[in-house]
Structure 1
Amino acid sequence: MAVDKSRVAVGFMVAGVLTVAFGVVLTFVGPMIIDDQIVKNTVIDPQNDLSYTMWKDIPVPFFMSVYFFNVLNPKEVLKGEKPMVEQRGPYVYRKRCQKDNITFHPNDTVSYREYRKFFFEPSMSAGNESDVVTIPNMLVLGAAVMMEKLPYAVRLMISATFKTFKEGPFLTKTVGELMWGYDSGLVDFLNKYLPGMLPSSGKFGLFAEFNNSNTGLFTIFTGKDDIKNVHRVDSWNGLTELSNWGTRQCNMINGTAGQMWPPFMTKESTLPFYSPDACRSMELVYQRPGVMKGIPLYRYVAPKTLFANGTDYAPNEGFCPCRQSGLLNVSSCRHNSPVFISHPHFFNADPVLLDYVQGLHPTEEEHGLFIDIHPVQVVNGGFPTLT
């Protein structure tokens, strides 16, 4: 009986030693196994059904929140007073992204077009698409700026056309019409007699050209050659650099397409991405750690220099002609119409811009551009709006 007890004791000792040894080995080998699995499941490969399907047809819902600045005193503005605005919204849209025309290439890259559709989500919105708001008439104001260089006779004709169609500096429409387009006699007239002047040949709306559209032909690296290259843009619409801007640095196409980045991010990493809607590459930098629903994350934010003008930040000189810092002039890729991008409420912009409008209250929490990212997976983000 004593012999049996000693054998049992020896057995437990051996099992304990083996467990400790296994634990020590797993401590060193385990992370390597996990990292290897992460790499295998991050590479864009049709043979990997799960990750490839998720990359092709992203199952995670994206939501776009749209806010309008309703002008409260349009008549007074025409008399020289400051615009007084109230923020209306959010009007929330679920965005579905699906890649198509997928073609793999021998140099470990893949080309695709990503199509996007928007669906209004009433339960998440602070209003309906039937809400009526008054905003500056971008069609009239944009045309007024664009026709400054046209012959006098043409300018006279367009001015008379504005009066004929009763188009003024301000526009009162429903949210749905402003978003997805409305019938306009002026638009029909300009498209008939001045073809190419407007970006749209149908209804005129802020997102009329976005719905059921694609973001261009992207060619990105699959990560098969080097996981650090996964999702990095090789070319866009066949271009390896742009021609909209004044310097080669500003015309560079850097980073990913803005949905995913390589795994194993650190606090020293940055998040570069190319945005076709902004017509340029941008880069976010690490700000602080955080937690969302128990998941640790890093917050990356837009540096104050992102939309700074060339005077305040010399490398941005190529994005000029510039106005005050905080406004990115994207006219060169918007049919030369006067379109600018900023943070909402002119956050991180020259304070003088806030003096031009009443009703703006910028805060970092509500109006900053950020992405919260786990070192392996993006979990939440906020993006800039057009102003």
Structure 2
Amino acid sequence: MTTEGKKCKLRERYCRIAQILLLVAGILLIFFGILMVFLAPYLINSKIRQKKNFAQDSELNYYWENPDYKYRSEIFIYSVNNSHQILSGNKPEMVQIGPYVFGVQVGRNILGYGNRSVKYQSFQSFIFDRNDSCEECSMHRKIIIPNIIFQKFAEISSNPVVSSIAHSSQPFLKVSVDDALFKGYVDPHLASVCTIPLADIICKSWNVPDKIGFLLHKNGAQRVVEASTGSEDGSIEAGELLSWDGLNLLPENWWNSKHARKINGSDGGLYKPFIKKTDKLYLFAPDICRSIHLTFAEEFVYKDVPAYRFIVKEDLLDPAVPGNEAFCHDDGRIFFSEDEKCLPKGLLDLSHCYNGKPPIVFSLPNFLYADERIKKSVIGLNESSVEHDSITLEIEPRTGTLLRIYIRYQINIAILKSQKMINDFNGTDLSKIRSTIVPLLAEYQVVEIGDGKADE
């Protein structure tokens, strides 16, 4: 064989080897490609679960301790415009003043870490933004509101001791907006009444606070909370509340079943990854003394990020829904009829979870989802709408990152007839007063992720 022939044979051998190597490499690439199709989602999901574990010194822990969110609150105040006519049986006519706009500074004070848990105190500070508020929105503006103490006395006015000591109490008070919200006001008659023998016993039994302010508790440090820090395999969700104020269950006198007293969900700061449309998202809301749930409403796009929108629906405050009767209190109050055990649909009685059992009632703004008779019993409110008045949570479903939440609610005072009420109380004819729910304020708070965090 010539030298040239040997070279050709050698080239053919190299070519065959190269072809075989290329074939093997191709097969391996196809194999690894197929493998990655199945493995990549697992690896990504595993990485997401690891990032949702906020144990001490983790990346998530830093963002959780130093939340990159913007907070803004708009508060509308209601003043009674016809207090004397209400005593004659007229519907309350409300004057809405607002919005009072506040910037809200928030943070968390970490108290310590335990076994996959962390104890902390949230704190917040409301800062009045005069420029963004309405022109007539002065914190010193006087408003007329129902007198909680008078209502308490009136409900048990058949008690001769109560009737004799409440001679100076008035059904309505004039207070400043600042005092009604954050500073607290002193009932001008309560201090003197509670020093009278026998009356002091009633005051102590009610545990009446020295000052009454409807957002007094929201400015400053909140109760101590313990939350789960999660686990890397996702078996324990980060952010789930384990206790509130040292309690695993809310006090027995607050609600009427163990299920109603459960502390479900997070404080709103963290949610699990891989959220499905069929999920219910739980949020513990200490201001209304219970956990609430939000259900899927729609898909939408938030700054180019595919997201889910969850909202509070009407089943939350409907006493006809099984289980919701545990949030009722049969205190002998009369609204539509004497045999009712619960307040009408759309209302939540908060009296049992605040000192002194004040007749405070929670609702959504403009009585969204409430019985039509409630809406028609008050003059001066706007038409309610799900878009503007519901509690709404917007979330990136894969990572469980909170994008934006709208916290909307209304605080009201119940003026209700009672089986222990007399018609002539302290010179006031109570026989003509109609049972009604009088709005005090509506808050519209939005919490939105910072631009830098959203880009991540």
TM-score relative to the length of structure 2: 0.71
Which residue of the partner structure matches residue 324 of structure 1?
Answer: 344
**Of 183, 208, 212, the match for 1:204:** 212
Q: Cα distance 1:67–1:191, how it changes in 2: closer, same or farther (>3 A)? A: farther
Q: Cα distance 1:182–1:30, how it changes in 2: closer, same or farther (>3 A)? A: same
Which residue of the partner structure matches residue 158 of structure 1?
Answer: 166
Asked if 1:365 is matched to 2:387, the reply is yes
Which residue of the partner structure matches residue 4 of structure 1?
Answer: none
Which residue of the partner structure matches residue 42 of structure 1?
Answer: 52
Which residue of the partner structure matches residue 404 of structure 2?
Answer: 380
**Bigger relative CO (Cα 8 Å, ≥ 6 apart):** 2
CA contact (8 A) 1:146 1:337 kept: no
Q: Cα distance 1:187–1:207, how it changes in 2: closer, same or farther (>3 A)? A: farther
CA contact (8 A) 2:280 2:294 kept: yes
Q: Superposition RMSD on alpha carbons, in Å?
A: 3.0
Output aligned runs, 1:258-273, within 5 Å: 258-273=268-283
Question: SS at 1:124's partner residue?
Answer: coil
Question: SS at 1:382's partner residue?
Answer: strand
Q: Give the deviation of 1:22 after TM superposition.
A: 8.5
Which amino acid counterpart does residue 394 of structure 2 have in structure 1? D
Whole-angstrom CA distance in 2 between matches of 1:134 and 1:176 = 10
Which amino acid counterpart does residue 392 of structure 2 have in structure 1? F
Q: Give the deviation of 1:362 after TM superposition.
A: 1.0
Whole-angstrom CA distance in 2 between matches of 1:226 and 1:339 = 44
Identify, as 1 or 2, the structure richer in helix. Answer: 1
Which residue of the partner structure matches residue 3 of structure 1?
Answer: none
Whole-angstrom CA distance in 2 between matches of 1:39 and 1:119 = 37
Question: SS at 2:317's partner residue?
Answer: coil
Q: Which consecutive unaligned segments of at least 5 residues does structure 2 have?
A: 1-18, 330-341, 413-456
Q: Residues 234-288 of structure 1: CA distance to partner in whole angstroms, max 9, x if unpaired? A: 1222222222211122122212122221122111111112211111111111111
Q: Which has the larger radius of gyration?
A: 2
Q: Which consecutive unaligned segments of at least 5 residues does structure 1 have?
A: 1-9, 163-167
CA contact (8 A) 2:153 2:162 kept: no
Which amino acid counterpart does residue 379 of structure 1 have in structure 2? L
Whole-angstrom CA distance in 1 between matches of 2:150 and 2:299 = 44
Q: Residues 288-336 of structure 1: CA distance to partner in whole angstroms, max 9, x if unpaired? A: 1112333322111112111112xx2231111112111111111111232
Q: Cα distance 1:211–1:20, how it changes in 2: closer, same or farther (>3 A)? A: same
Q: Give the deviation of 1:35 after TM superposition.
A: 3.0
Q: Cα distance 1:53–1:328, how it changes in 2: closer, same or farther (>3 A)? A: same
Which residue of the partner structure matches residue 5 of structure 1?
Answer: none
Whole-angstrom CA distance in 1 between matches of 2:193 and 2:274 = 52
Which residue of the partner structure matches residue 189 of structure 2?
Answer: 186
CA contact (8 A) 1:131 1:175 kept: yes
Whole-angstrom CA distance in 1 between matches of 2:178 and 2:231 = 44
Asked if 1:278 is matched to 2:288, the reply is yes
Question: SS at 1:61's partner residue?
Answer: strand
Output aligned runs, 1:86-105, within 5 Å: 86-105=95-114
324-333 or 374-383, which deviates more: 374-383
Whole-angstrom CA distance in 2 between matches of 1:220 and 1:380 = 21
Which residue of the partner structure matches residue 220 of structure 1?
Answer: 227
**Of 64, 68, 83, the match for 2:77:** 68
Question: SS at 1:381's partner residue?
Answer: strand
Question: SS at 1:305's partner residue?
Answer: helix
Q: Give the deviation of 1:187 after TM superposition.
A: 4.9
TM-score relative to the length of structure 1: 0.83
Q: Cα distance 1:351–1:183, how it changes in 2: closer, same or farther (>3 A)? A: closer
Whole-angstrom CA distance in 2 between matches of 1:236 and 1:32 = 35
Q: Give the deviation of 1:101 after TM superposition.
A: 4.2
